[in-house]
Amino acid sequence: MSSVLGYKGYKASVAFDADDEIFFGRILGINDVVGFHADTVADLKLAFAEAVEDYLESCKKVGKSPEKAYSGNLMLRIDPAVHSQAAMAAESAGMSLNQWSEEALKKATEHAR
């Protein structure tokens, strides 16, 4: 079961609100907050596509880049024991901790799709 929709390279998290009996979602990976909702799954998919199209058009009108740029820098705060284990695993694999962490994150995100 997936709670993520995709359209034109954009992803959205989706959920169901039992109180209001609607599906709702939010576009991921952008600086702005863009949400959408619908009563059925089919309508939710359409609402997501419309939200992406509206977002792209709005960005175009104001002359801004529609996608959030990630710097590639990631600051993590983790348990010192985990840090130590990761550093040793990286060294054992002949990699820097950054290289090893990137590989681990890639594997985790591919598995989460």
- Give the pLDDT confidence of 74-94 residue by residue, as tens digits: 889 999 999 999 999 999 999
Q: Are residues 52 and 86 in the same domain?
A: no
Among the listed residues 16, 56, 68, 59, the one whose alpha carbon sits nearest the alpha carbon of residue 40: 16
The tally of domains found in the chain comes to 2
Same domain, 92 and 49: no
pLDDT value of residue 112? 74
Domain shared by 10 and 54, yes or no: yes
- In this structure, is residue 105 part of a structural domain? yes
94 lies in the same domain as 52:
no
Answer yes or no: do 52 and 15 share one domain: yes
What 3-state class would DSSP assign to 11? strand
In terms of residue numbers, what domain contains 15?
Answer: 4-62
For residue 69, pLDDT over 70 is answered with no
Q: Residues 10, 58: one domain? A: yes
Cβ contacts of 41 within 8 Å, gap of 6 or more? 23
- Flag whether pLDDT at 4 surpasses 60: yes
Q: Is 40 part of any domain?
A: yes
Residues 8 and 41 grouped into a single domain: yes
Task: Tell whether 56 and 91 lie within a shared domain.
Answer: no
